[in-house]
Amino acid sequence: MAETRYIKAVNQALKDAMRDDPTVFLIGEDVGAAGGSFKATRDLLDLYGPERVYDAPIAEAAITGIAVGAALTGMKPVAEIMFMDFITLSMDMLVNQAAKARSMFGGQGSVPMVLRTPHGGGLNAGPQHSQCLEAWLAHVPGLKVVVPSNPADAYSLLRAAIDDPDPVIVVENKALYAMKGEMPETPEKIEIGKARIARAGRDATVVAYGAAVGMAEAAAEVMAAEGVEVEVIDLRSVQPWDEACVLESLSRTHNLVVVHEAVEAFGVGAEIAARMADIGFDELDGPIVRVGAPFAPSPFGKTLEEAYRPNADRIVAALRRTLA
Amino acid sequence: MPKFGLTMTEGLLTEWHVAPGAAFRAGDMLFTVETEKVANEIEAEADGTLAEILVQAGETVPVGTPVARLASGVAAPPPMAAAPAEVASGKDTLDSPAARKLMAEHGLDRDAVAPTGRDGRVMKEDVLRLIATPLARRLAEAGGVDLSSVEGSGPRGRIKARDVEAAAQAVPARAPSPALPDVTEIVPDATRRATAARVSAAKRDIPHFYLTHEADMAALARLRAELNAEGHGQKISVTHMLIRALGLALEEMPQMNRIWAGDRILAFAHADIGMVAETPDGLRIPVVRDAGGTSLDAVAAQAGALAERARNGRLTPSDVGGGVISISNVGMFGASSLTPIINPPNAMILGVGAERSLFRPDADGAPALRRELTLTLACDHRVIDGADAARFLSAVVALLETPLRLLRPARKPA
């Protein structure tokens, strides 16, 4: 075990994947000479040369389109979109091309591409550089969406995404890039679609992903001091998501809170809550409560953004509501 | 539901004498209510027409619950059952009448009820709806728990799993009855059910304690024989003398003339004494009024008349209810003593056994033949303490053993 940072784990995963598979290449703004805006691709240009690490112009549609085309012809591109907010420009390539190819070509082709992009606030980056838009992508059949919550998962989920024969969006979190965490000597193999029990508990289940997992764990600490044992599930993957794991946990705890940094309305939490209200109905002993950002653009100002982002206190309040 | 006594909280409506849609005249029997061990016939106070029965025969409902609706335009409110529905919620609301009635009856805040009717009208189902979590419902079904009897501890009274679990523990599941060929299942009638519910509640809710005292009956027997030898008026029985003794003792110890009424204590000015009587309709407890302030002859006359009416099933509501103590005498069956259950809202009951002859050591230690009666006093410890109860029972025994005092007025309380 060695300690590493989230951004270094991403860098390591890219480095190892490129070492293991010569068809893996990188494309994105500033990924080459600059080593990435957040240094995810540091040193990779020097290691693997300009044929495998492309600096692209500020043209997200082109970056994504090139990745889709390369993937269709047998390469394993890893595209970087500098901020998830700019994924709006990639949507046609992702939604109408990458997501549909396997089905439209009768299974004769697939799009083994990865699109890495950071979401989330906490850096006072304002409404156009803080958004969490994973629900848009999770809504599209044919796309997979993973959201690692810690350095080890950042490594393993990125490796799993690169190995996957279909388009996978790896949503990183800007606020987590500096996060330190243990990195096993032999990294865990993660199956996309399987969740992880981050903390076991018997009284209530909190489902979270990305940065919300840490908030949920902090909330669980607060509740534990009162004798309430909260189980925290790190979804790891929001599309597909581990329905069986959540249902199993709910069947033990009978209370459910779903947390994400994204806006609450029409979010991933709505899907999980609706599904559990259906298949888990008879297990519920309280309302399913969601915790997410309010229905408003992310503010710039520090205090306003702190009020905007979900946190442990709001998760504690949600837990108290469902347990009341 | 009319109220027949200070502490009456609910009544069993046993029978309707008027069918829905039928007209009635003032003085007609409307319905029968069973409570306080008496069947009360409720008469119409004015002419009218019965529009709708709201409480069916066999239902037990709280005092004040409307039991029926009368046809409009005919002014004939049922006795004491003024419909609170109209008072509590204004007539201009569009809520369904049944919903308004239910909300008024149960003191529900309209704002706390989620309306489902058109234009935000509260419907009957909205009021009746039982709020329980899905898990609570599932557990209740699996455990055979009736959710309507479970109190919810969640927000706005929502029933949660923990409430069902607590209820399930409180009421252990009924053991499956083995199929015994020589056992017959009998469905208890309304009287039996009412008695069962009443005595169960009494024994469960009243912390009983008991005192036993023997009374030497020699002097009392002589006095009774002399009084009855005169041969006019009501014959005096031992029970009459016991009632008189209790009346005097209560007059002289007013701190015993009290009952526990949940959140307060009720103190009575007069000593009313109930006497448990067997009647064709089951046990009844007619009450002799002011047994301390009247004479032994008056007590005997009252008791005689009450016993007569009880035997014939003709007790009236004013014959029962009130008082702090009843007498239950099983002496005529030869039982030497009786440890009785207090009849709520009484605070005491005196169990009386058979008079017996036995030898007791006299002053010199030689056996002396005596006639004795065993008295067992059951007391409600919420309102009576042991020492007071012992003084009271001793005072009663002293009155019986120096029975001329039964002919005198009560002494002023110390």
The residues, any chain, with a CB within 8 Å of residue A68's CB and separated by 6 or more, are: A93, A94, A97, A98, A101, A111, A113, A167
Interface predicted TM-score (ipTM) of this complex, two decimals: 0.74
pLDDT, tens digit (0-9, with 9 covering 90-100), for B5-45: 777 778 888 889 888 888 888 888 899 888 766 778 888 88
For residue B136, the chain A residues in CB contact (below 8 A) are: 285
A247 in contact with B, Cβ within 8 Å: no
pLDDT of B82 above 60: no
Instruction: Dump the DSSP string for A153-170.
Output: HHHHHHHHHHHSSS-EEE
Residue A153's Cβ-count burial label (10 Å; 0-12, 13-18, 19+) is buried
Helix axes B218-229, B386-401, angle to 10 degrees: 50
- pLDDT score of B104: 76
Q: Which residues in chain A are classed under CATH 3.40.50.970? A: 2-183
More confident: B118 or A59? A59
Quickly state the pLDDT bin for B72 (edges 50, 70, 90): low
- pLDDT score of B396: 96
Asked if A286's CB is within 8 angstroms of B134's CB, the reply is no
Looking at every residue in chain B, the average pLDDT score rounds to 84
Looking at every residue in chain A, the average pLDDT score rounds to 96
More confident: B182 or B379? B379
For residue A283, the chain B residues in CB contact (below 8 A) are: 134-135
Query: A92-101, A181-190, A221-230, B53-62 — which is least confidently predicted?
Result: B53-62
Residues 210-239 of B with CB under 8 A from A: none
A297 in contact with B, Cβ within 8 Å: no
pLDDT of B304 above 60: yes
Looking at chain A, the whole-number percentage of residues with pLDDT higher than 70 is 100
Asked if A286's CB is within 8 angstroms of B133's CB, the reply is yes
**Phi/psi at B251 (5° precision):** -60, -40
Q: Which residues in chain A are classed under CATH 3.40.50.920? A: 196-323
Rounded to a whole number of angstroms, the distance from the CA of A247 to the nearest CA of chain B is: 14
User: Is A60 a residue of the active site?
Assistant: yes
Interface test with A, best of B131, B133, B158 (most A CBs within 10 A): B133
The residues with which B50 forms a beta bridge, in sequence order, are B70
Spell out the SS3 assignment of A8-19: HHHHHHHHHHHH
Residues 251-280 of A with CB under 8 A from B: 254
Looking at chain B, the whole-number percentage of residues with pLDDT higher than 90 is 39
Asked if B136's CB is within 8 angstroms of A282's CB, the reply is no
Q: How far apart are CA B122 and CA B128, in angstroms?
A: 11
Rounded to a whole number of angstroms, the distance from the CA of B106 to the nearest CA of chain A is: 24
**Phi/psi at B82 (5° precision):** -60, 125
Rounded to a whole number of angstroms, the distance from the CA of B168 to the nearest CA of chain A is: 17
Q: Which residue of B has its CA nearest to A253?
A: B135
Q: Which residue of A has its CA nearest to B163?
A: A285
Query: Is the Cβ–Cβ distance between A276 and A250 less than 8 Å?
Result: yes
- pLDDT score of A150: 97
The residues, any chain, with a CB within 8 Å of residue B370's CB and separated by 6 or more, are: B216, B218, B357, B358, B359, B360
Closest CA to A222 of A150, A324, A288, A319: A319
The residues with which A289 forms a beta bridge, in sequence order, are A257
- Active-site hit among B17, B208, B270, B381: B381
The residues, any chain, with a CB within 8 Å of residue B40's CB and separated by 6 or more, are: B2, B4, B11, B32, B33, B34, B317
Instruction: Characterise B413 by phi-psi region: left (phi > 0), alpha (psi -120 to 50), beta (else).
Output: beta
Tokens of B285: 């407890």
More confident: A259 or B152? A259
More confident: B412 or A45? A45
CATH assignment of A2-183, among 2.40.50.320, 3.30.465.10, 3.40.50.970, 3.40.50.2300: 3.40.50.970
Q: How far apart are CA A214 and CA A90, in angstroms?
A: 30
For residue A324, the chain B residues in CB contact (below 8 A) are: 154-155
Quickly state the pLDDT bin for A209 (edges 50, 70, 90): very high
Q: Which residue of B has its CA nearest to A286?
A: B133
Asked if A283's CB is within 8 angstroms of B133's CB, the reply is no
Query: Is the Cβ–Cβ distance between B266 and B6 less than 8 Å?
Result: yes
pLDDT, tens digit (0-9, with 9 covering 90-100), for A71-86: 999 999 999 999 999 9
Q: How far apart are CA A36 and CA B158, in angstroms?
A: 54
Q: What is the mean pLDDT of residues A197-220?
A: 98
Query: Is the Cβ–Cβ distance between A72 and A98 less than 8 Å?
Result: no
Q: How far apart are CA A65 and CA A176, in angstroms?
A: 28
pLDDT, tens digit (0-9, with 9 covering 90-100), for A135-172: 999 999 999 999 999 999 999 999 999 999 999 999 99
Closest to B138 (Cβ–Cβ): which among A282, A286, A324?
A: A282
Closest to A254 (Cβ–Cβ): which among B137, B155, B161?
A: B161
Asked if A284's CB is within 8 angstroms of B161's CB, the reply is no
Is-same-fold flag (B134-170; B193-407)? Answer: no
User: Cα B255 vs. chain centroid, distance in angstroms?
Assistant: 22
Query: Is the Cβ–Cβ distance between B368 and B360 less than 8 Å?
Result: yes
Beta strands in B313-366 (DSSP E): 325-329, 348-352, 356-361
Interface test with B, best of A285, A288, A322 (most B CBs within 10 A): A285
Closest CA to B190 of B16, B9, B373: B16
B134-170: in CATH 4.10.320.10 = yes
- Active-site hit among A29, A80, A119, A129: A129
In this structure, the strands spanning B38-43 and B29-35 are antiparallel
pLDDT of B217 above 60: yes
B356 in contact with A, Cβ within 8 Å: no
Asked if A254's CB is within 8 angstroms of B137's CB, the reply is no
**Phi/psi at B238 (5° precision):** -60, -40
Instruction: Give the predicted TM-score (pTM) of the model.
Output: 0.54
Q: Which residue of B has its CA nearest to A254?
A: B135
Q: What is the mean pLDDT of residues B128-148?
A: 85
Q: Which residue of B has its CA nearest to A281?
A: B134
Closest CA to B240 of B288, B286, B290, B284: B288
CATH assignment of A196-323, among 3.40.50.360, 3.40.50.920, 1.10.10.10, 3.40.630.30: 3.40.50.920
CATH assignment of B193-407, among 3.10.450.40, 3.30.565.10, 3.30.559.10, 3.90.1150.10: 3.30.559.10
pLDDT, tens digit (0-9, with 9 covering 90-100), for B387-402: 999 999 999 999 999 9
- pLDDT score of B74: 47
pLDDT, tens digit (0-9, with 9 covering 90-100), for B350-367: 999 999 999 999 889 999
User: Is A129 a residue of the active site?
Assistant: yes
Q: What is the mean pLDDT of residues A43-53?
A: 97
Q: How far apart are CA A268 and CA A266, in angstroms?
A: 7
- pLDDT score of B89: 43
In this structure, the strands spanning A230-234 and A76-80 are unpaired
- pLDDT score of B44: 85
pLDDT, tens digit (0-9, with 9 covering 90-100), for A296-309: 999 999 999 999 99
Query: Is the Cβ–Cβ distance between B132 and B126 less than 8 Å?
Result: no
pLDDT, tens digit (0-9, with 9 covering 90-100), for B219-263: 999 999 999 988 777 889 999 999 999 999 999 999 999 999 888
Asked if B155's CB is within 8 angstroms of A284's CB, the reply is no
Which CATH number applies to B10-128?
A: 2.40.50.100
Domain ranges of chain B: 10-128, 134-170, 193-407
Q: How far apart are CA B67 and CA B61, in angstroms?
A: 9
Q: Which residue of A has its CA nearest to B136?
A: A285
The residues, any chain, with a CB within 8 Å of residue B156's CB and separated by 6 or more, are: B112, B131
Spell out the SS3 assignment of B350-364: EEECCCEEEEEECCC
pLDDT, tens digit (0-9, with 9 covering 90-100), for A261-280: 999 999 999 999 999 999 99
pLDDT, tens digit (0-9, with 9 covering 90-100), for B167-212: 887 755 555 555 566 788 887 777 788 788 888 989 999 999 999 9
For residue A282, the chain B residues in CB contact (below 8 A) are: 134-135, 137-138
Find the angle CA(A214)-CA(A220)-CA(A222) to the nearest 5 degrees. 110
- pLDDT score of B76: 44
- pLDDT score of B92: 55
